[in-house]
Structure 1
Amino acid sequence: MSSMVTVTETDERSPLLHNSGEITPFTSPSPESSSSATDPKQRLVSLDVFRGLTVAKVSSKPAATKKVILRAIKLFLLGLILQGGYFHGRDDLTYGVYINNIRWMGVLQRIAIGYLLASITEIWCVNKNEVNSAVTFVKKYYIQWVVVVLLGVLYMVLLYGLYVPDWEFEVVNGNSSLSVPNGTETQVVHCGVRGSLEPPCNAVGLIDRFLLGESHLYQRPVYKRTEECSVNSPDYGPLPPNAPAWCLAPFDPEGLLSSLMAAITCFLGLQYGHIMVHYKGHMQRIMIWLVSSSSLLVLGYVLTVTGVPLSKPLYTLSYMCITTGASGILFLAIYYTADVINIQKPMILFQWMGLNALIVYALAACEIFPAALQGFYWRSPENNLFNATELLFETVLHSEKWGKLVFVLFEIIFWGLFAGFLHIKGIYIKL
C-alpha cells in the first residue's frame, strides 16, 4: 500500500484530517464543475475516494502544530492497540500482550510519522507567494522538496552504508523444527556485510533491533513465507529441512528506517493536492498528474533494472516510486471518471469507505471483526461463519485460489456497504 496523501480540503468526518479554528477548510472548485464543487453536499467524489491532508489557511501556527502533534500521538497510540499484539487476529480466540513483547511499530504508527512530517512542513515551511506558473509553484513548496531529498538521502546512506555485524536472537522451543532443547536457545545469524538487502543482513533490521529491541518487532515477517523458510511457500508453513536460523528471527516491515522512505510518499501526495488547489482546469490537472505519475513509474522501473529491488519490507526507493506512481494513475482514473465525465455511481463504495476509512481499517484490515465473528462456532472453533463463507466460495468455484479471490472481493463489497450504512446514519469515526 502507498501511503500517498493528497492535499485537498479539511473535513470533520475524515478521521485523519484537521478540523479546527486554526485550520480553515479550503475548497478549490474548477470552472468546469463549479456547481458540484461549491455545494458542500455534492463535493467532488474523487476527493472522498483519494483524500488526504491539507493545511490551507493557518491563522495560528503554534495552535495548528499542537493539534497536529496530538493527532499524530493519538494515531500512534491507536496503532499500538490494534497492532501491538493485544489482538491476535484470525484463528486465535485469545487476546492480550506481554508488555515486554509489545510491537512498537505498525501501519498506523508509520502513517502517524508521515502525517506529522508532512503537516509540520505544510504549516511552517510554505511561503505566501502566489502561484501563477510552474516556477512560482516550485518556489512556494521548495522546502518540502528539500525535506524529501534529505529523507531519501538519509535512507539510502543508512541502507547501503551501515555495517551489519553478526547478530543473535532467542528461539523458544515449540516454535520451530530446528534442534532447540527445552526452553530457549540462542541462534546466531552470520552477516559481517555492508549494503546487503537480503532478509537476515539488511540495515533496516539492524536499526530496529538496536533502537526498538528484538522482542518488540513483528514476529511473522513476510520472509517466513519464502522457499527457504516454508514448505508451503508462498504461504506460511512448517520449516523445511536445513532451514537457515534467520527464518525464525523477527523483522518489522513497518520499521523505523523504512518509515522514512514511506514518509516521502506523504510529501509526494501532498504535491498532488497542491496541484488540485492551484490549477483549476480539469485537463491542466490531469496532464500534470499524468506526467508526474508516469515519471515515477519509469524511474521506479529503471531503478529496479539497475539493481534496486522492489521490496515492500525494506520500502526501497524503487518500491516507493512504483507504488506512488501507480497510486497517482489510479487517482487520475478516478478523478477523470467521477469529476470530468461525471460517472459517479461506480465510485460510491470508495467514497463511503473514504469517509470512514479508520473504522474499516480497524475492523477489517486488523481482523478485529473476523476474529470476533469466529468466536461464534459450532462444536469446534474452525466451524464458524467466517471460515464457512470462504469455504463455500472455494467449493462453488472448485478452486482454492479463485475462491479466496472472490471471498476477498466479497469482503470489499461488504465493508463498502457497511461504510455506506454509517454514512447514511451520519456516523463518522475520527481522531
Structure 2
Amino acid sequence: MEAKKEIEVATERDAEVVLQVAGEGGNGGKEEGRAAMDVSSRSRRVAALDAFRGLTIVMMILVDDAGGAYEKIDHSPWNGCTLADFVMPFFLFIVGVAIALALKRITQVSAAVKKIVIRTLKLLLWGLILQGGYSHAPDDLSYGVDMKKIRWIFGCVAFVVYMATTYALYVPDWSFVFHREGDVNDGKRFVVKCGVRGNLDPACNAVGYVDRAVWGINHLYTQPVWIRSKGHSERLKHWLLMGFGLLICGITLHFTNAIPLNKQLYSFSYVCFTAGSAGIVLSAFYAMIDVWGIRTPFLWLEWVGMNAMLVFVMAAQGIFPAFVNGWYYETPDNSLVHWIQRHVFVKVWHSERLGMLLYVLFAEIVFWAVVAGILHKLGLYWKL
C-alpha cells in the first residue's frame, strides 16, 4: 500500500525526550536533584508525543489493511482528504517535533552531528531491508520526459546559478540602524564598506546581500529562532493558534477552489490542512494526558508509540503475518492467519468488508497494542 511505501522507519522511543513541565524545580543539593530526576523522569516525559506517535502507527495499519474495503478511509483518488491521507503528514509532524525536543538537549554541535549521521545511516539500512532496495519510481514519474538525459542539465544549471550568485554578484556598500535600548549607539546608522565580488565574509557575502535586498534587514534573527514556552497555557495557546490558523487556511483554499486539497500533488492547502490538524490533535493529547492527567484511555496508544519501531516493522510492514503465513497445511490458504480471517471474522459476521475491518481492529491493532503494553511493563523497547 502507498502508506507503507512512503513511511520512513524513523521512529524511536525517544527515551531522553522530555519537556520541562511548568512549576518544576527546586533548591536541593546535587545528589537530591539527581535522585528526583530519576524518580520523576517518567512523569516529565511528554506522554502526548507517545500517544500521537501511536495514533499514527494505528492509522497506518488501519488504512493499509482495511482501506481497500472502505473507500472513506482509503486514499482519496485525487482532490479531497480521507483518513489515509493524514498518515504521512502526521508522521512527518511528530518526527519533526521529536527531533526538535531531542536535539535541544545536546549542547555540542559535534555531538548533535554525530547523532544525526548515525541515525541517518541506520534509517538508510532499515529502509533498504524493508523496502527492498533501489526504488524504480523515478522512471515511472517522468511524464513522457526522459529524466535520465536531462537531470544532469538541471543540476548543472543550479550549480552555475549558485556559483555565479556567490562569486560574480557585485555586493555594494550597505547600511543599517543599530537599536539597543540604553546603548550609547542606539539609533545610530552604520555603513558597511563592501564594493566587492566573491567575498565570503559575514558582512559582504552575496547570499546576505540577496537576503537583505529581497526580505530586508529586519528579517534577520538576532535572538533564538524559536520560542520556548515553559507553561502549559503558553504552549497550548501557541500550538492551537498555529493549528487552527493552518486548518482554516487549508479549508478556505479548498472550498473557494483556489487550491484544492490534493495529496498526490502535496498542494499548499493539503499541507496547511493536515499540519493544522496534527497540531490540534497534539494539543488535545497534551491537554488531556499531560495537563489534566487523563492517561488511562490513551495508555494503549502510548504503548504503541513507545515501541513504534516494533509495531511498524511487524504489523504495518507485514513481517509478522508473512512469517505466520509461511507455515501452512497443503496450500498457502490453510495458514493460521487466513483461518482466523475466514472463520473468526468473515463467516461470523457474514460480510467480507466488515469481517476484514474487525480483523484489522482486533487481530492486528489490539493484538499489537497488548504486545507493546507487555513489553512496556518489561521495560523492553526497540529503538534505533
Residue number in structure 2 paired with 1:293: 243
Residue number in structure 2 paired with 1:247: none
Residue number in structure 2 paired with 1:60: 108
Structure 2 counterparts to residues 86-235 of structure 1, below 5 A: 102-103=134-135, 201=143
Structure 2 counterpart of 1:15, from 9, 12, 28: 12
| Shift, 1:319, TM fit | 2.3
Root mean square deviation of aligned Cα: 3.8
Residue number in structure 2 paired with 1:421: 374
Q: Identity of paired residues, percent? A: 36
State whether structure 2 residue 383 is matched by structure 1 residue 430.
yes
Q: Which amino acid aligns with 2:231?
A: G
DSSP-derived class of the 2:294 partner = coil
Q: Which amino acid aligns with 2:49?
A: L
The TM-score with structure 2 as length reference comes to 0.55
CA distance in 1, matches of 2:109, 2:25: 32
Q: Deviations over 1:60-93 (max 9, x none)?
A: 20231122122112112211110126xxxxxxxx
CA distance in 2, matches of 1:37, 1:303: 48
CA distance in 2, matches of 1:408, 1:36: 40
Structure 2 counterpart of 1:334, from 266, 269, 285: 285
State whether structure 2 residue 306 is matched by structure 1 residue 355.
yes
User: Does the Cα contact within 8 Å between 1:80 and 1:104 map onto a contact in 2?
Assistant: no
CA distance in 1, matches of 2:51, 2:128: 26
Q: Deviations over 1:272-297 (max 9, x none)?
A: xx66xx22332332222222111111
Cα 1:351–1:63 change in 2 (3 A) is same
Cα 1:84–1:211 change in 2 (3 A) is farther
Residue number in structure 1 paired with 2:76: none
Residue number in structure 2 paired with 1:407: 359
Counting helix residues as a fraction of each chain, which structure ranks higher?
2
Cα 1:17–1:424 change in 2 (3 A) is closer
Structure 1 counterpart of 2:297, from 341, 346, 350: 346
CA distance in 1, matches of 2:50, 2:38: 12
| Shift, 1:26, TM fit | 5.2
Q: Deviations over 1:188-224 (max 9, x none)?
A: xxxxxxxxxxx88499xx8699769xxxxxxxxxxxx
CA distance in 1, matches of 2:318, 2:278: 24
Could you list the runs of 5+ residues in structure 2 that have no partner in the other structure? 27-35, 53-93, 153-225
Residue number in structure 1 paired with 2:118: 70
State whether structure 2 residue 334 is matched by structure 1 residue 383.
yes
Residue number in structure 2 paired with 1:28: 20
CA distance in 1, matches of 2:246, 2:239: 11
Residue number in structure 1 paired with 2:262: 311
| Shift, 1:429, TM fit | 1.2
The TM-score with structure 1 as length reference comes to 0.49
User: Does the Cα contact within 8 Å between 1:45 and 1:347 map onto a contact in 2?
Assistant: no
Q: Which amino acid aligns with 2:369?
A: G
| Shift, 1:304, TM fit | 2.6
| Shift, 1:29, TM fit | 0.8
Residue number in structure 2 paired with 1:84: 132
CA distance in 1, matches of 2:333, 2:253: 45
User: Does the Cα contact within 8 Å between 2:247 and 2:277 map onto a contact in 1?
Assistant: yes
Residue number in structure 2 paired with 1:396: 348
Q: Relative contact order, CA 8 A, sep 6+: which one is greater?
A: 2
Cα 1:428–1:349 change in 2 (3 A) is same
DSSP-derived class of the 2:282 partner = helix
User: Does the Cα contact within 8 Å between 2:321 and 2:337 map onto a contact in 1?
Assistant: yes
Q: Which amino acid aligns with 1:301?
A: I
Structure 1 counterpart of 2:48, from 22, 46, 62: 46
User: Does the Cα contact within 8 Å between 2:303 and 2:369 map onto a contact in 1?
Assistant: yes
User: Does the Cα contact within 8 Å between 1:26 and 1:56 map onto a contact in 2?
Assistant: no
User: Does the Cα contact within 8 Å between 1:28 and 1:37 map onto a contact in 2?
Assistant: no
CA distance in 1, matches of 2:296, 2:144: 46
| Shift, 1:365, TM fit | 1.0
Larger radius of gyration: 2
Cα 1:393–1:32 change in 2 (3 A) is farther
Q: Deviations over 1:104-149 (max 9, x none)?
A: 78xxxxxxxxxxxxxxxxxxxxxxxxxxxxxxxxxxxxxxxxxxxx
